[in-house]
Amino acid sequence: MPKAPALNKKNKLKKISKEMFSWSRENICDGLVVFESGRVEVGAILVSIPKKVVGSSVERNRLRRVVKEIYRKSSDRSFNKHFLVKFNSNLVDFEKALENYFKNV
């Protein structure tokens, strides 16, 4: 069975640091914030969904997969920035807003 396309290891950030919250901040919609770093060699993404916002781990993982897939489809242009996507509330229709954001970055 063929594997679905996925992000490379170099396009994934592993840990959140305090300095990430000092990056430039963009409110995509109510409850969804994207922080972006300055110029780097290879762009990467990290998705943060607190347990208080989405209690089910199955749902948190599904949201992470959706966000990473949107990033992967938009990363044809090869971003030179790191992104931190943070959910502040449980969202239903955030996909279009996030796609538009990554298309215009």
Fold of 27-104: Ribosomal Protein S5; domain 2 (3.30.230)
Residue 62: per-residue pLDDT = 92
- The domains of the chain are located at 27-104
- At 3, the pLDDT band (50, 70, 90 cuts) reads low
* Residue 60 φ/ψ, nearest 5 degrees: -60, -45
Q: Is 5 exposed, middle or buried (0-12, 13-18, 19+ CB in 10 A)?
A: exposed
| pLDDT tens sequence across 27-40 | 988 889 999 998 88
Residue 8: per-residue pLDDT = 72
C-alpha to C-alpha distance for 24 and 90, rounded to whole angstroms? 23
Is residue 98 pLDDT above 70, yes or no?
yes
C-alpha to C-alpha distance for 91 and 30, rounded to whole angstroms? 8
Lowest mean pLDDT of 18-22, 28-32, 39-43, name the range: 39-43
What value does the CA radius of gyration of the chain take, rounded to a whole number of Å?
13
Residue 4: per-residue pLDDT = 62
- At 60, the pLDDT band (50, 70, 90 cuts) reads very high
User: pTM of the prediction?
Assistant: 0.83
19-27: average pLDDT: 89
C-alpha to C-alpha distance for 57 and 70, rounded to whole angstroms? 20
Measure CA 9 to chain center.
Answer: 15
